[in-house]
Every structure is written in structure tokens, then in C-alpha cells.
A and B are shown apart, each in its own frame.
Chain A
């Protein structure tokens, strides 16, 4: 009887350990393949020159610039709205119908498929507001997509500010807003920023929302205004890998672009994760 129980425990715990190994291995294999095949394509001119010969040679500079603008725009949209929502939810709102409704909105926004954001961006920003396929439309669409990420991160940061800070400030005669602005926000700012970095990583890697709202197949020139179409790293990978007549010929460029995108996104996330773990340690000590 004892034997059997121990056997079952051993078997079950081994399965659990095996699972985590499989997940880790999947990650390593995927990233490994792209690093090994992509590293050969990376060079200074690959990163700083536009594509030439109908995108079969040359670099990816316009795509890097495009992704930079789109991501920056998305943050400018999501950051103020997200932080304001978090402040209201954490500092002002009392449990009740309004807070339930706002949370319902945030949770559902987080669950909407990215391609549906793309459809919305197309119907609203591109067609109805006549922004056209542009940096503006793409940034707004991506901004809405990452809004829940910014809200979640900001809420967590505000929650971690000790209640005593608020009480001390109020006791000194400060108003609620003075307390939030001078005491709570400065204390929560590092946490809010780190969380928002995660949103940046998400925005940089998304493809479906920008397919119909911002991304161009090929533009040799860099964007000059908010209303220009841009190339973007994720869309560039998709286009080269699926469309056109030179799919096999451009394989090295595809791997190279994928590697650049992975480095960018993982780099952004890694920075956020490291800062966050430092912050948490500081809070507990």
C-alpha cells in the first residue's frame, strides 16, 4: 500500500517536472533556430539601409523606424488613459456599480482578439475619421490594444504604495489630489513605468492590428508625417514569408528580421522584468 502511494507520487511529480522541461525546451528550440539562422544576416548595413531589388536584398531600416513610431504613438495613447483609469480605480472609486462596469470594460478589452482591433481601426480611424492607412491610425489602434496592460500595471503599482503614506499626507492637511500628485504617484512611478514597458513590448510585436491600419508592403522613404504609411518589423516578416515570388530567396532576410524583432521585444521585456524584481525586493526589505 505504502509502495503504491509513493509510486504514484513519483510518477505524478515526474510528469509535472517533464511538463516544465517541455515548455522550456519549446522556447529554447524556437529562439535557438531563429538566432542561429538569423545571426548571419545581421550587419550594420542590414540595420541601417532600406531594402533594394524588390526587397530581395538590402536592409530593414524603414521597418525599424516604422515600428518605433507606431510603438511610441501607442504608448502616448495608452499611458495617460491607463494611468488615469488606474488612479480612479485605486484612489477614488468605492466598490459599487461604476467600478464593476469599468472593470468589466477593462477585462473585456483585454480579451478582444487583435484582429478585431484591426477591423475596428479600419472602420473607425481609417475610413470614418479619414486618417487613412497611417502612423496615426496604427498608433491609436495599438494604443487601445495595450491599454489594459498599462491599467493592470499601474493598478498594481498604486496598490503597493503603503496606506501610511496617504494617511500621513492627508493628516498634514493635503487634499486628496495633492496626496495623489505629490505622494502616491512619485512612489508608484517606477512600477507604473515598468508595467508600461511591457505594453511597449506587446505593441512592437503585434501584426494583425496594423495590417489594415498602418503597415505598408514596401515604402523606400521614411515617414514624414503622421498620415504616412510605414513599414513595420512584424508585418515585414509576414509579407516576406508569405507573399511574393522570392519567398525562398529572401529566407535569410526573414530570419534576420525575426531575430531583430525578438531581440527588441525580449530585450524590452527583460528590462521590465529585471527592474520589477528589483522593485519588489526593495519593497519587502
Chain B
């Protein structure tokens, strides 16, 4: 065998090794999917899918007649994430506009790292802050029995989601070409008109992706809702009542559920629901990002 040939074989081998290693991510996603289902599906021998998803009562450890309805948790997750988005989307997108359009170079060098640092604060610390500082504040201000409620959880979740939305939106806005802006100014538009009618529409797909990923993060966030949402497994009637979003339900009870019990399987099935919800969000984000890929300068 000649040296060249040996070299070629070695090169192909190395390439194959890298290909193999790079499938790790997809293999892991598949494994997570398989194991969630393997451990979650057995609960549907005890309850039907419909009873599980729409059931109002969650008494998994009742000995004679346990109930496995996670509807209150699904409702809790959706309500808390929706309220969080009402706060996080405008704050995040406006912060991005500030960084990309208004900030001087120097300000940007300060603001961007601050947002990145905010993104890196561990969720348990934000939850802790919500518990020991913000909850007593809410309790006193609104004269409530407890400050651990939907409102508190939504605000803390918003704090978590803002950095994601802000930095991804900023990337999108930053990518809008200079010519578009200059053309707008040349037509006599002022700064805000340029931002609102040219820059934002041009970067809308990127901003949408950012918002969806931010919300997906909020739905999946565990420690914050575990610590500040209050934990009642019932549909909250107002923002001052407590609730228990899906991740909180899993985290709070998994340690007590014996491996292989109905309770254990029910919590894995809760994980499936959470996985599917975030999976849908991610696929939508991925779809928007590739389908409506931002183009640079328009060509005639």
C-alpha cells in the first residue's frame, strides 16, 4: 500500500470519527425522548390520556383512589408563562432596540455584558430572591395571605426570559443592513419611524424566534416556579392565588416517588407533556428562523 493511500484511509477514518461524535446531540435528544416515554407511558394503564391531561385532581399518593389529573398544572404553566411574556417581550425587544439602535458605542459595551450577566444568574438565586424579598413585599403591598403566587412567579420568570429575548433580538436587529436605514432617513423619516417601520419589520422573523425561544425557556424553567408559585395544584382564579406549573410538580415530587410506582410514571408523563410543549415551540422557532431567513440588501 502506498503512503498516499494510507493517508487517504486515515483521513477518511478521521472524518468518520468526527461524523460519529457529532451525532451525539441528535442521539441524546432521541434517548431523552425514548426514556421519557418508556417511563411515562405505563401510567396510561391506570388512567386514560384524556383523564390525565384534562383531569382536575392530582392526588397521586392516595392509597385507595389516587387521582392523576394534570390539567391544573398545564393551566398553571400556560398562565404563568403568558403573564411573564406580557412583561418580558416588550422589555426584551425594547432593550434590544436600545442596544442596536440608540446606545452609543460605550454604552453598548456596558449594557450588553450586563444583559449577558443577567442571563447567567442561576435560576435558584432568582427563585430565592422571589421568595425572601419579593414575596413579603407583595404580601404587604396587596395585603395578601401569601406572596408566593402567580404574579410573583410571572415577574421572576420574566426576569429570566428578558436576557434571552434581548440578546437574540439584538442579533436580528443588528443584521438589518445599513442601506435600508439610510434609504429611510433619506426619505425624511425620523429615528423612531425608521425603527418601527423599517428595522423592526425587516428583523421580524429574528425577533419572533427570540420571543418563542424566550417563552420556551420560561415554560421549562423549574426552580423559579418551584420556589415562588406557591405550589397549589389547582387552577388559579386570580393572579394573587398560588399555582403549580408542570416543572414545579415534577421537581417537588420526584424525590418522594418510589421508582416504578404509578406516581413515578405519572411524573415522567408530566415530563412528556412539558417536553412536547417546548419541542413544539423550538420547532416553530427553527422553522421561522430557516424559512424566513433575513436577507441583506434587496436586489432588483
Asked if B25 is an interface residue, CB under 8 A from chain A, the answer is yes
Task: Tell whether, in the assembled complex, residue A16 and residue B98 are in contact, meaning their CB atoms are under 8 Å apart.
Answer: yes
Task: Tell whether, in the assembled complex, residue A115 and residue B132 are in contact, meaning their CB atoms are under 8 Å apart.
Answer: no
Query: What's the Cα separation between A129 and B114 when bound, in Å?
Result: 41
Most A C-beta atoms less than 10 A away, residue of B99, B131, B162, B251: B251
Asked if B180 is an interface residue, CB under 8 A from chain A, the answer is no
Query: What's the Cα separation between A215 and B115 when bound, in Å?
Result: 30
Stretch at the interface among B34-42, B61-69, B236-244: B34-42
Query: What's the Cα separation between A17 and B102 when bound, in Å?
Result: 8
A87-B18, A118-B251, A251-B132 given; A9·B193 CB < 8 A: yes
Query: What's the Cα separation between A277 and B109 when bound, in Å?
Result: 9
Give every chain A residue within 8 A of B46 (Cβ-Cβ). none
A123-B268, A207-B122, A238-B223 given; A13·B91 CB < 8 A: no
Closest chain-A Cβ to B230's Cβ sits at a distance in Å of: 12
Asked if A40 is an interface residue, CB under 8 A from chain B, the answer is no
Closest chain-B Cβ to A92's Cβ sits at a distance in Å of: 5
Asked if A59 is an interface residue, CB under 8 A from chain B, the answer is no
Query: What's the Cα separation between A162 and B165 when bound, in Å?
Result: 30
Stretch at the interface among B138-146, B270-278, B292-300: B270-278
Task: Tell whether, in the assembled complex, residue A112 and residue B29 are in contact, meaning their CB atoms are under 8 Å apart.
Answer: yes
Interface string of A71-97 (1 = CB under 8 A from B): 000000000110011011100110000
Chain B: residues with Cβ within 8 Å of the partner, total of 89
Give every chain B residue within 8 A of A237 (Cβ-Cβ). 124-125, 128
Give every chain A residue within 8 A of B10 (Cβ-Cβ). 175, 177
Closest chain-B Cβ to A154's Cβ sits at a distance in Å of: 11
Which partner residue on chain B sits nearest A262 by CB separation?
A: B125
Which residue of the partner chain, among A84, A92, A102, A113, contacts B274 with CB atoms under 8 Å? A113
Give every chain B residue within 8 A of A85 (Cβ-Cβ). 21-22, 24-25
Q: Which residues, 141 to 186 on B, are CB-close (under 8 Å) to A?
A: 159, 162, 166
Which residue of the partner chain, among A20, A148, A201, A202, contacts B111 with CB atoms under 8 Å? A20
Give every chain B residue within 8 A of A122 (Cβ-Cβ). 254
Give every chain B residue within 8 A of A17 (Cβ-Cβ). 98, 102
Which residue of the partner chain, among A26, A115, A241, contacts B251 with CB atoms under 8 Å? A115
A26-B159, A116-B36 given; A15·B94 CB < 8 A: yes
Give every chain A residue within 8 A of B25 (Cβ-Cβ). 85, 102, 105-106, 109, 147-148, 151
Task: Tell whether, in the assembled complex, residue A265 and residue B38 are in contact, meaning their CB atoms are under 8 Å apart.
Answer: no
Most A C-beta atoms less than 10 A away, residue of B122, B191, B282: B122
Give every chain A residue within 8 A of B36 (Cβ-Cβ). 116, 119-120, 123
Chain A: residues with Cβ within 8 Å of the partner, total of 88
Task: Tell whether, in the assembled complex, residue B126 and residue A30 are in contact, meaning their CB atoms are under 8 Å apart.
Answer: yes
Task: Tell whether, in the assembled complex, residue B227 and residue A8 are in contact, meaning their CB atoms are under 8 Å apart.
Answer: no
Asked if A54 is an interface residue, CB under 8 A from chain B, the answer is no
Task: Tell whether, in the assembled complex, residue A23 and residue B162 are in contact, meaning their CB atoms are under 8 Å apart.
Answer: yes
Asked if A273 is an interface residue, CB under 8 A from chain B, the answer is yes
Asked if A223 is an interface residue, CB under 8 A from chain B, the answer is no
Asked if B104 is an interface residue, CB under 8 A from chain A, the answer is no
A13-B191, A116-B271, A205-B122 given; A23·B251 CB < 8 A: no
Give every chain B residue within 8 A of A27 (Cβ-Cβ). 114, 117-118, 121
Q: Which residues, 159 to 189 on A, are CB-close (under 8 Å) to B?
A: 175-177
Query: What's the Cα separation between A122 and B268 when bound, in Å?
Result: 10
25 interchain pairs (CB within 8 A)? A9-B190, A13-B191, A23-B115, A84-B22, A102-B23, A102-B26, A104-B26, A104-B286, A106-B25, A112-B275, A115-B274, A119-B35, A119-B250, A122-B254, A123-B36, A123-B268, A151-B25, A177-B11, A207-B122, A234-B125, A235-B124, A238-B124, A238-B227, A265-B120, A269-B116
The list of the 9 closest CB pairs from A to B, nearest first, reads A113-B220, A205-B122, A105-B26, A19-B94, A84-B21, A111-B282, A88-B22, A105-B25, A9-B192
Which residues of A approach B to under 8 Å, CB–CB? Answer: 5-6, 8-9, 12-13, 15-17, 19-20, 22-24, 26-27, 30-31, 33-34, 80-81, 84-85, 87-89, 92-93, 98, 101-102, 104-109, 111-120, 122-124, 127-128, 144, 147-148, 151, 175-177, 198, 201-202, 204-208, 211-212, 234-235, 237-238, 241-242, 251, 254-255, 258, 261-262, 265-266, 269-270, 273, 277
